[in-house]
Structure 1
Amino acid sequence: MSELYNVSAAPHIKSWESTRTIMQDVVIALIPASILGVYNFGLRALAVILVCVVVSLWTEYIYEKGMKKPVTIGDFSAVVTGLLLALNLPASIPLWIAAVGSVFAILIVKQLYGGIGQNFMNPALAARCFLLISFGARMNDFKIPTVSATKDLLIHGAMAVDGVSGATPLAALKGGTATDLMNMFFGNIGGTIGETSAIAILIGAAYLLFKKVISWRIPATYILTFVIFMILFGGKGFDVNFLLTHVLGGGLLLGAFFMATDYSSSPITRNGKILLGIFLGLLTGIFRTFSSAPEGVSYAIILGNLVVPLIDKVTMPRHFGKGTKVNG
């Protein structure tokens, strides 16, 4: 017998993908939303993004150096956390609050639980919820300065030059004001830095799906469940304008594609991903329909993260022969 067979230990399936390449793909996917955010809100938005990313990197570096652990800032996970947090903040947020949120995300939610892969919540969203509780007025301040000169475009952003109201579409809808779907699609609306342009988010999402960085199961199930819930309980029935306003407005798209799909805090099984999507869609619908606040994506995903271990437990396939009865 001339052929030789090598018996080796698991794992037997190898991939060229690494944490670094995956995180780099996420950063690339967030570039369109980041560029639109800076264009809309000016240099102030850029400052918030830079502060969140830099403070996230420094917090991870200082903690790991102090604890004599391997420094992991080169895997880009801290960059992704800082960038996602910044895109979930209003451009008017004081920079020191953005820095506090970044420290909370990296130190409390990520590193104290063991670092990347060990956090049970999405760090960026956990930090956003922390800031919403601690600095509610600042976090909901979407005022846009009024300027008249085109030369102020770089400093204050396109929305200030165009005289766009700072009211978010969901807040306007809650107050009975009509919304413009085209403005929502292209980003000429109030909101956080990264949630205003649906087209920019969808371009990034398409890139992640094409690269197979994320699965379609969580975002598709999430959005579909949410739409069905709003048809049944939103009070407007099958009102296309109403439904599209809820889908395109707020943080639904950004949350569904970029945060609910976080590897560390989402299910590992296919059925588990679908169950999580259904859970998130129901929670978001409940928050937006029955609460006084117009939004609810952040809290829905955070609560969803808490039930992921249970979802994995009930959807994990059994080992061959385990739990079966033996005849005789």
Structure 2
Amino acid sequence: MSNLLKVSLSPHIHGKETTQKLMFGVVIALIPALLTSIFFFGYGALIVTATSVASCILFEYLIVKFIIKKPLTINDGSALVTGLLLAFNLPSNIPVFIIVIGSFVSVAVAKMTFGGLGNNPFNPALVGRVFMLISFPVQMTSWPVPAGLNTGYTDAVTGATPLAIVKEGLKNGESLSQLMTQIPTPAQMFFGQMGGSMGEIAAMALLLGFIWLLYKKIITWHIPVSILATIVAFTGILWLVNPEKYADPLFHVLAGGILLGAIYMATDYVTSPMNPKAMLIYGCGIGMLTVIIRVWGAYPEGVSFAILIMNAFVPLLNTYIKPKRFGEEVKNG
């Protein structure tokens, strides 16, 4: 009779979702943005994406197979997602060897060093991106201007991003009204007609992916909405105080990588909080840090740094901000 009873550790109820299913759901959400980047940047977008994805998968395979010597994990799709997200943070004309180095840092240093998926404290793709930005600043800030499907890989015409134009112009004493004549309109930025990384120029496509992720319940609204709301509120106050010095909220949302970061990078399961209240605090922190870096920092863009900084606070948020336990007694008075 005693053999009929099995005692095991929780969880005792398992859902239908698997890591592989969730990861490939994210891949599907990224397809519109990938197609948009190919449409605007041509062959370069394909080369960068293929190199990044292949390198991330290869490095994870080699490390698991020959160093860690555990069952292979490349089938779970996490290396594929890391490769895609890393590519989306890069210019479409960046040399292949730099992509390979960034992929190695993303997978080997930021992920596998800590034990693989589920153990890494920082978003792997962002660690790789920041490493590349610091190590190869010229190549990482030479942004191709969208020129269509026939755009070459090495001969693409480069130009400054809207954020860089505003940052440099304000530093040189120009007014914002003068600078706005040099950058694309909000409609052009929304549909991708501006310089930037492969993921920055696809606002409409990224939002389509966001709808898909919400529909499939792969992510919740808390982190993306809190990031965007904080940025809109913070930049809105600054804009009202001095519209000749601070850009309006719509510009900050459409220019740069805030949509990519808010929807796809900050919502990473491993490096983001586990409950809604902590998610809102986490998102607000990312939004505030992004604006602080953009407006007063040395770099025109601050999303990557903001997410990595808030990644470090996730264990603290998970420890001290917890949902009420089922059956927990509430003290009155």
TM-score of the pair, normalised by structure 2: 0.87
* 1:123 partner amino acid: P
1:314 aligned to 311, 320, 323, which one?
Answer: 320
Contact kept, 8 Å, 1:105 with 1:127, in 2: the verdict is yes
In 2, Cα distance between equivalents of 1:74 and 1:7: 31
Please give the per-residue CA displacement for 1:294-320, whole angstroms capped at 9, x wherever unaligned.
210000000010011111111024657
In 2, Cα distance between equivalents of 1:319 and 1:40: 50
What does residue 54 of structure 2 align with?
54
* 2:71 partner amino acid: P
> How large is the RMSD of aligned CA atoms in angstroms?
2.8
Structure 1, unmatched stretches of 5+, are 147-151
Alignment of 1:1-328 (within 5 A): 9=8, 10-66=10-66, 67-144=68-145, 153-156=149-152, 166-174=159-167, 175=169, 176=176, 177-178=179-180, 179=183, 180-234=185-239, 235-236=241-242, 242-317=248-323
In 2, Cα distance between equivalents of 1:7 and 1:303: 43
Moved more, 316-325 or 296-305: 316-325
CA separation of 1:144/1:74 partners in 2, compared to 1, >3 Å: closer, same or farther? same
TM-score of the pair, normalised by structure 1: 0.88
In 1, Cα distance between equivalents of 2:247 and 2:136: 32
CA separation of 1:132/1:16 partners in 2, compared to 1, >3 Å: closer, same or farther? same
Structure 2, unmatched stretches of 5+, are 170-175
CA separation of 1:18/1:243 partners in 2, compared to 1, >3 Å: closer, same or farther? same
Contact kept, 8 Å, 1:181 with 1:241, in 2: the verdict is no
In 2, Cα distance between equivalents of 1:233 and 1:323: 45
Report the secondary structure of 1:303's partner residue: helix
Instruction: Quote the sequence identity (%).
Output: 43
* 2:216 partner amino acid: K
In 2, Cα distance between equivalents of 1:22 and 1:218: 17
In 2, Cα distance between equivalents of 1:298 and 1:251: 8
CA separation of 1:21/1:321 partners in 2, compared to 1, >3 Å: closer, same or farther? closer
Pairs aligned (count):
313
Moved more, 5-14 or 96-105: 5-14
In 1, Cα distance between equivalents of 2:19 and 2:205: 24
Please give the per-residue CA displacement for 1:152-208, whole angstroms capped at 9, x wherever unaligned.
843439xx6xx8x72212122332421311110100110001110210110111110
Report the secondary structure of 2:253's partner residue: helix
Contact kept, 8 Å, 2:40 with 2:146, in 1: the verdict is no
* 1:271 partner amino acid: K
